[in-house]
Structure 1
Amino acid sequence: MNAAASLSPLLNGGSAESFPPAAVTPHAVGTPSSVWRLRADSWDFLAYTVKQLLTAAEKGNSVTGLLSESFRLLNILDAIEPYFASPGRGLMADLRSSLTIEDFRVAGEVIDAARRALAHTAAGSTELPSTSEHRDAAAQPVAVAEPRRRFEVLVIDDMTEADQESLKADLLGRRRNDDEFIYNVNIVPSFEDALIAVLLNPEIQACVIRPGFASTTRQRLGHDLRGFLDSFAGSSPDPVHPVQRILRLAGKLSELRPELDLYLIAGVAIEKVAGSLTRHFRRIFAREDGLEIHLSLLRGIAGRYDTPFFTALQHYSKRPAGVFHALPISRGGSVLNSRWITDMADFYGLNLLLAETSATSGGLDSLLDPHGAIRDAQNLAARAFGAQKTYFVTNGTSTANKIVHQSIVAPGDVVLVDRNCHKSHHYALMLAGARVAYLDAYPLDKHSFYGAVPLRSIKQTLLDYRRAGRLHEVKMITLTNCTFDGIVYDVERVMAECLAIKPDLVFLWDEAWFAFAGFHPLYRRRTAMAASRKLEQDFEQQRYARQHAEQALILHDPETGEPAPDGVWLNTRLIPDPTIARLRVYATQSTHKTLTSLRQGSMIHVYDQDFSRHNQDAFREAYMTHTSTSPNYQILASLDVGRRQAELEGYELVQRQADLAISIAQTVARHPLLRKYFRVLTTQDLIPDEYRQTGHSFPLRDGISAMNDAWKSDEFVVDPCRLTLDIGRTGIDGDTFKHLHLMDRFGIQVNKTSRNSVLLMTNIGTSRSAVAYLIEVLVKLAETFEEGTTNLNPADQEAGQARVKALTSDPPPLPDFSHFAAPYRSGAQTPDGDIRAAYFDTYKSEAVFHLTPYELARRVSAGEEIISAGFVTPYPPGFPVLVPGQVITEATLSFMSALDTREIHGYNHQHGYRVIAATGCIRQTC
């Protein structure tokens, strides 16, 4: 079977689990995200099989079965390797030839060379042997270490094999020993092959387009990949005009992986096309500009590799200095000369101490007034995350949220807030003096946590304010994307429909757990920055304006101009007026949670068309208010390095973390003992039917096309990297399972639990070994549970069954936000309340006292109105169940009594709840 034939089953279903050699078939990969595992495993299994072939041949045993298996593995690799520059087509041809003539010794040498080349590529540490040298390279270790980072360049052009070799020789021949980076070149013939290559091969960092590329691939594609390409690129990828073909390819490549550097080699009339193409390409070249192409490739990668502040800090640490200033630890002074704490230097290392300094000591930039390296680092981060501006924050996203709220919200402004957002938002709104209108997410009562806020509920709230004549008071909406449990909004749709009702609404998207999402083509569309850019582009299109004008005739009475009834607005997918809608969007991200950064490293991304006119000064003051004058420079440097990593290998790492999560879910579902006690909740468990148009339980498991469909059309989707493990059938509650079984016994660290679930998350640092260890631990636990149930006496068995029933039966329903007490509300028509007034009322002690849970429940049941005096926040997940000024209800108390979380902020385990009784309220209106 040749490569063209073998690509057909390559992406046609199944998975790339770790499998024994005999189980490997061409059907073993379902999505591009798992190609990395299939590729590595296939090379390993092929090496094993060829080694067995050599042994069998030497002993005179039959090689028929082993040889058949070798060709099957080679067919898989023949389908994958054309999209990678290394090991290369020549080596693959040599390998097939040696197997065909049954020269297994040479086949083994070729495989050894290929595997070393793959290892060097992954490590970026060794120059690759050329195809003609691979046998010599296989016979002896590679002698010359190559410290330079390396990458691959994809050339798109339909050219003869001779022309391909000539082009490669020209570019690679220009490499010099003093080049900062090295690259290999791969050439594909068509538009579709280019898209496949950048999907499958994360080592590609630059694309060179030549006008002679074909439209469609010659490969036979599987159903999944074919479906994705048709959906993503459309069925007619061949516009007649050459410039349009080039622009279309460039646009699609940028849409898949915007971090790639794009270059164009124009055949003729380069001066005429340059003006219309410059926006899409870093540079445009004539065919004879080989040296300029080479230098541009290196300069492009250097631009993303640059870390201005990290580099400046490194240089600073190497300079001699005399410290006559604060910070005794600077330059290691108080540590290295100590007789008692030198172990601190041993543990942390000398560089940490050398790099400690103060912004006022000179030599480095200031976070509060950046004009040098920090400014440059923030600008690079804005480019990487698709923002207009980016600001570094060194004390976490809690502070980032406070900065944004204070910069936007003035006392009395109404803010719509997901009640389940992180507690930092609630405290920020209290400090800002906002009137808070809480939005309720849909509940998942069975598992004791919430989903996300339905768009219909958001629209209804805005329409309620319009009907009450208070829409002008609504300033901002704050939502969490994605939620702790992995529920992701359709950000573009939410913003578009809200702006159709209130064109100047400001959005704050808390993306604390979603910083990685901007570096994957399917995730990216549901991030705040990508959705903002997409809407801005739509607003500039005449087509969009026409669609709005047509819809306006439906949404307003043609005679009076009055809005149609709310039901019409709620049942219509609203299109904002592009002439008056303003995109004012902020995203806060915990870089340290899902990308590489030291603890508390966060970023604020801004896409605000009115920032310079309406918010720049207020933002600066808010930033000054909440940012330390002594920021940790190590955190800032790690943010700079984390951005570099995200741009250069973020796509690869996000692909891997999603694929590893799916492999965990599949293993739990397939293992007979694991599935007896555990179950990974599916999209269908976590998102009710009314919020899904597609029906896939695990969209990524079902293929990239299925995930693409779901993430394009469903109101909510689930991040495949979040796995909610249902443990109810173990009879152990989530908090006990987390601490006693996972953490204390096996060192498995997890964050969030509910009464009957544990949240497992993969991240860009998750390895296959870590996944294997997790599965091993779950199997051991399941074996323990199995042994325990068989050895129990009848009474203990009955007690165990009762515990299982309690965790798997319906618990008390999750409480919606009740309401604010009358003294803190604006009126009966709208739900907002003044939590700052309630908060500071409690400073007068005569109005505040404690009630035990029993006494509080008794009074509430008797009909007495009891008002919460503060925030009551189970942690994790970190959102308040009660806020100042909220009326406490029986539903809230029932929920609190069922919680298994040990840490509850704002609740005194000795004295109970802090409350304000309505009769004891100190405000005149009580």
Structure 2
Amino acid sequence: MEGTILVAGDERPDADSAVAEQLRRLCTAMEEHGLRVRWTHRTTDALAVIRSESMLMGMLAGWDGGGEKVLDAVTKRFHRLPVFLMAAEQEPRDLPLWVYEVIQGYVLLLEDTPGFIAGRIAHAAEEYTERILPPFFEALRKLEDRHRYSWHTPAHAGGVAFLKSAVGRAFFDYYGERLLRTDLSISVPELGSPLDHTGPIGEAERNAARIFGADRTFFVVNGNSTANRIVGHHAIARDELALVDRNCHKSIQHALTISGARPVYLVPERNGLGLAGPIPAGKLSAEAVRERLADHPFTASAATPEPAYAVVTNSTYDGLCYDTVRVAELLGASAPRVHFDEAWFAYGRFNPLYDRRYGMAVDEESLPGPSRPTVFSTQSTHKLLAALSQSSMLHVRPAPRAPLDYERLNETFLMHASTSPLYPMIASLDVAAAMMDGPSGPFLTGEAIVEAIRFRQAMVRLAGRIREDTARPDWFFGVWQPDEVTDPRTGRSLPFENADLELLSTRPECWTLAPGAAWHGFDDLDDGHCMLDPIKVTITCPGADATGGTTEWGIPAKIVAAYLERRGIVVEKIGDHTLLVLFSLGITKGKWGTLIDALIDFKSAYDADLPLAEVLPDFGPSGITLRALCTQVHNKLRDANLDDLLDQVFTDLPEPVLTPAACYQALIRSKTERVPLRELANRTSAAIVVVTPPGIPMLMPGESTGPDDGPLMSYLYALEDFDRTFPYLATDIHGAARDESGHYWIDCVTT
């Protein structure tokens, strides 16, 4: 790997001094070793290089001037970077003791030759380069460097087969030879086995377990959906009771189907914006669970009277993360195994802001005693860390109360794992873990948090400026977040936009959902139970309020999202009046600046009442303005009362009739039929029906649709009517098919 050496001291590169002349010779000698040299005499420049130069392989630092700041910055960015303290003829005296822990030695510029010093630095940089490579990625690189013939699968044999046709050659040239040479068979012994967890692969999983705080980690290369199915398949047996977060991913339902479990759902809060909130702590207590089970149809014939497993989504799609230690304590009183589906929260362990908010925080120290449950955490590593798509991890921390036999867990793993995994995916998991190791994790996550907060504050300040400008309408987009925060150090309350960046990026108290706070709109919350993750930013459009629901006037988010897409900006999730954007490790100031600019331009187009054809060509009806379309769509959303209906659907859950497993048996034996909405009342659904947003299942397999005038049917009628009126804004609904006229059809168990 090509690397950079930073020279940071008081000497200017063009200075006329013996020390500067020797440094120039030293820089030339280091370049002859293949190292790129960055020489700066200003502390601010040195700090900028440390922040931005990921390929820094070593540093020569002076102590006078800003040396202390520079060395401190290195410790917060890099793990064991080779640092040499440079001086003219003798080492600095009276250095703080911590400096000796950072530096690798001294460089006395006027005592040794430039060639000798350069060789010493190059050797240290080479050792550092080898040290930072994680186990599997290092083994894969070494294997690829041997240039051996392939006599095993895959049949493209390192890409050679692609070279035998024009289309194959195009594929080869597009992806490059290195990717194809590292696409290897599971039979390559030097890399170990992803099924038996041996060799470099096993070492990489053990390294990831150390980094993520797990007792054991499994690399899952079929996505977090597969990781969820593995846990559910292993943790619960047929006809046992499972406590399931209603705000669950459909892969949890797949696990229930495979295992034959009997789900009892835990109901999360919802607010007026249509966002899914947390399950209140009161509903997780042993007493609340007993009451929930007492009159549930699945309890009487369950294999055991007590739940065997509980699963909670953490963090939610919208960025709400629990105090997992408290949740494990509460649910552990009812279930011996607790599963946190952390598909969107793989980075939780690596920043102090999320202390106690991630699954592997539940350990012997945080929750001592015999009641601690065995904890599973499943993570889509690729979603918000740096890994290839479908690359996920399963972390486990067992407890004596529910002993875990890893050989038996691996038998379940084998039922879902591929015998032909893509090794670059495994390498990306290995690298993603290594990137979070040591100070790098807090540094990288801290950057994402800070940029998200800067965007949040910029949006609020801009909205304030627009309100003060009497020359234009005073509306603008908002951000779902506290209006003000309290500095825990002083007790002083501050407007969010004026709060110190360090305060907002380091103090979780600024983001916790205080009971009764109007900004979040959720009821029945305990203090500290839930926190909003700052990197998941929900932009609010005029038209809905977190406490009051849909308002008289508004601008639908789907129209804003269509405009943003024309500007090359694709958001993660779209609600009726909300847009979710994610501030991942790859975010930049320029990136979020373009988003703000696009939002301002949308406002200008709306205020000017520009023709829709000019703002969004080939979108919506012709001969109408952008403002008129927004008005039509918002009025339809308001008059249909969709928010209240959806709230009823998720508050009073449908009646369970069959288990998901029983529905699946009906499905594969052709004992289901597709039913139009007008005939759906009081039928048993064979499918999971999910509307995004909020992404919570409104109907699970085996549940009754209820009466024709009930909340579920009323909501589906209203939703179908909206989609038929505005087909270009049709709802993202899973589990319901549409015919040519836009009517819904849903699979039901035959009567």
**TM range, normalised to the smaller chain?**
0.7 to 0.9
Partners of 1:868 and 1:887 within 8 A in 2: yes
Partners of 1:728 and 1:808 within 8 A in 2: no
Give the C-alpha shift of residue 916 in structure 1: 3.9
Which of 666, 689, 694 is 1:841 aligned to?
Answer: 666
Which of 913, 917, 921 is 2:745 aligned to?
Answer: 913
What are structure 1's unaligned runs of at least 5 residues? 1-84, 93-109, 136-146, 155-159, 184-297, 540-577, 686-693, 825-833, 922-926
Percent of pairs with identical residues = 27
- Aligned 1:469-488 pairs, distance under 5 A: 472-488=305-321
Say if 2:411 is the partner of 1:621: yes
- Aligned 1:101-500 pairs, distance under 5 A: 113-121=42-50, 122-123=52-53, 124-125=55-56, 128=59, 130-131=61-62, 150=81, 162-164=93-95, 171-173=104-106, 177-178=119-120, 305-444=132-271, 446-459=272-285, 460-464=287-291, 472-499=305-332
Q: Distance in 1 between matches of 2:7 and 2:279?
A: 47
Give the C-alpha shift of residue 173 in structure 1: 1.6
Give the C-alpha shift of residue 172 in structure 1: 2.6
Partners of 2:372 and 2:401 within 8 A in 1: no
Q: Distance in 1 between matches of 2:351 and 2:84?
A: 19
What one-letter code is carried by the residue in structure 1 that aligns with 2:46?
A
Q: Distance in 1 between matches of 2:696 and 2:82?
A: 44
- 2:21 corresponds in structure 1 to none
- Aligned 1:738-777 pairs, distance under 5 A: 738=561, 740-743=562-565, 745-777=566-598
- 1:530 corresponds in structure 2 to 361
- 2:435 corresponds in structure 1 to 645
Give the C-alpha shift of residue 750 in structure 1: 1.4
Segment drifting more, 515-524 vs 471-480 = 471-480
Partners of 1:125 and 1:149 within 8 A in 2: no
Say if 2:660 is the partner of 1:660: no
Give 3-state SS (helix, strand or coil) of 1:838's partner: helix
Q: Distance in 1 between matches of 2:450 and 2:704?
A: 45
Give the C-alpha shift of residue 457 in structure 1: 1.3
Per-residue deviation, residues 244-302 of structure 1 (Å, max 9, x unmatched): xxxxxxxxxxxxxxxxxxxxxxxxxxxxxxxxxxxxxxxxxxxxxxxxxxxxxx99x78
- 1:608 corresponds in structure 2 to 398
Q: Distance in 2 between matches of 1:494 and 1:167?
A: 39
Give 3-state SS (helix, strand or coil) of 2:699's partner: coil
Q: Distance in 2 between matches of 1:719 and 1:631?
A: 33
What one-letter code is carried by the residue in structure 2 that aligns with 1:491?
T
Per-residue deviation, residues 199-229 of structure 1 (Å, max 9, x unmatched): xxxxxxxxxxxxxxxxxxxxxxxxxxxxxxx
Per-residue deviation, residues 727-755 of structure 1 (Å, max 9, x unmatched): 235955333432x2112x11112111111
What one-letter code is carried by the residue in structure 1 that aligns with 2:704?
V
Give the C-alpha shift of residue 337 in structure 1: 3.9
Segment drifting more, 834-843 vs 759-768 = 834-843
Per-residue deviation, residues 111-147 of structure 1 (Å, max 9, x unmatched): 8644543344331447656549999xxxxxxxxxxx9
Per-residue deviation, residues 453-475 of structure 1 (Å, max 9, x unmatched): 11111224422267689874301
**TM-score by structure 2 length?**
0.73
What one-letter code is carried by the residue in structure 1 that aligns with 2:275?
F
**TM-score by structure 1 length?**
0.60
Partners of 1:874 and 1:901 within 8 A in 2: no
Give the C-alpha shift of residue 177 in structure 1: 3.8
Give 3-state SS (helix, strand or coil) of 1:873's partner: strand
Give 3-state SS (helix, strand or coil) of 2:361's partner: helix
Give 3-state SS (helix, strand or coil) of 1:868's partner: coil
Give the C-alpha shift of residue 666 in structure 1: 1.4
Q: Distance in 2 between matches of 1:624 and 1:667?
A: 49
- 1:721 corresponds in structure 2 to 535
Q: Distance in 2 between matches of 1:855 and 1:166?
A: 78
Q: Distance in 2 between matches of 1:454 and 1:181?
A: 57
Per-residue deviation, residues 662-705 of structure 1 (Å, max 9, x unmatched): 111111111134972311112479xxxxxxxx999789865457
Say if 2:337 is the partner of 1:506: yes
Say if 2:747 is the partner of 1:816: no
Q: Distance in 1 between matches of 2:167 and 2:626?
A: 55
Partners of 1:491 and 1:528 within 8 A in 2: yes
- 2:72 corresponds in structure 1 to none
What one-letter code is carried by the residue in structure 2 that aligns with 1:625?
M
Q: Distance in 2 between matches of 1:352 and 1:383?
A: 28
Per-residue deviation, residues 882-916 of structure 1 (Å, max 9, x unmatched): 11111114322344444866443321112733354
Partners of 1:407 and 1:622 within 8 A in 2: yes
Partners of 2:664 and 2:686 within 8 A in 1: yes
Q: Distance in 1 between matches of 2:420 and 2:378?
A: 21
Q: Report the count of equivalent residues.
A: 616
Which of 711, 729, 733 is 1:891 aligned to?
Answer: 711
- 1:707 corresponds in structure 2 to 508
Partners of 1:724 and 1:760 within 8 A in 2: yes
What one-letter code is carried by the residue in structure 1 that aligns with 2:683?
I
Partners of 1:756 and 1:808 within 8 A in 2: no
Give the C-alpha shift of residue 379 in structure 1: 0.6
- 1:241 corresponds in structure 2 to none
Give the C-alpha shift of residue 495 in structure 1: 1.2
Q: Distance in 1 between matches of 2:494 and 2:529?
A: 13
What one-letter code is carried by the residue in structure 1 that aligns with 2:676?
T
How has the CA–CA distance of structure 1 residues 149 and 440 changed in structure 2, closer, same or farther, with 3 Å as cutoff? same
What one-letter code is carried by the residue in structure 1 that aligns with 2:477?
F
Partners of 1:150 and 1:181 within 8 A in 2: no
Partners of 1:866 and 1:888 within 8 A in 2: yes
Partners of 2:360 and 2:397 within 8 A in 1: yes
Q: Distance in 2 between matches of 1:808 and 1:479?
A: 32
Give 3-state SS (helix, strand or coil) of 1:888's partner: coil
How has the CA–CA distance of structure 1 residues 126 and 519 changed in structure 2, closer, same or farther, with 3 Å as cutoff? closer
Give the C-alpha shift of residue 86 in structure 1: 9.3
Q: Distance in 2 between matches of 1:641 and 1:514?
A: 17
Give 3-state SS (helix, strand or coil) of 1:849's partner: strand
The structure with more helix, counted as a fraction of residues: 1
- 2:675 corresponds in structure 1 to 851
Segment drifting more, 586-595 vs 801-810 = 801-810
Per-residue deviation, residues 764-784 of structure 1 (Å, max 9, x unmatched): 111111122222222222222
Q: Distance in 2 between matches of 1:632 and 1:430?
A: 28
Q: Distance in 2 between matches of 1:414 and 1:611?
A: 18
What one-letter code is carried by the residue in structure 2 that aligns with 1:163?
D
Partners of 2:536 and 2:582 within 8 A in 1: yes
Q: Distance in 2 between matches of 1:645 and 1:423?
A: 30
Which of 869, 875, 880 is 2:697 aligned to?
Answer: 880
Give 3-state SS (helix, strand or coil) of 2:413's partner: helix
What one-letter code is carried by the residue in structure 2 that aligns with 1:835?
P
Give the C-alpha shift of residue 609 in structure 1: 2.3
How has the CA–CA distance of structure 1 residues 639 and 304 changed in structure 2, closer, same or farther, with 3 Å as cutoff? farther
Higher radius of gyration, 1 or 2: 1
What are structure 2's unaligned runs of at least 5 residues? 1-5, 13-38, 67-77, 86-90, 108-116, 468-473, 485-492, 514-526, 544-552, 615-622, 724-728
Q: Distance in 1 between matches of 2:666 and 2:135?
A: 48
How has the CA–CA distance of structure 1 residues 902 and 855 changed in structure 2, closer, same or farther, with 3 Å as cutoff? same
Q: Distance in 2 between matches of 1:595 and 1:378?
A: 16
Per-residue deviation, residues 855-891 of structure 1 (Å, max 9, x unmatched): 43xxx3xxxx222121123357654321111111432
How has the CA–CA distance of structure 1 residues 401 and 822 changed in structure 2, closer, same or farther, with 3 Å as cutoff? closer
Partners of 1:662 and 1:700 within 8 A in 2: no
Q: Distance in 1 between matches of 2:98 and 2:653?
A: 70
Q: Distance in 2 between matches of 1:592 and 1:118?
A: 30
Say if 2:694 is the partner of 1:866: no
- 1:631 corresponds in structure 2 to 421
Per-residue deviation, residues 280-338 of structure 1 (Å, max 9, x unmatched): xxxxxxxxxxxxxxxxxx99x78972411111111121223233333122311112343
How has the CA–CA distance of structure 1 residues 127 and 870 changed in structure 2, closer, same or farther, with 3 Å as cutoff? closer
How has the CA–CA distance of structure 1 residues 717 and 315 changed in structure 2, closer, same or farther, with 3 Å as cutoff? same
Give the C-alpha shift of residue 343 in structure 1: 2.0
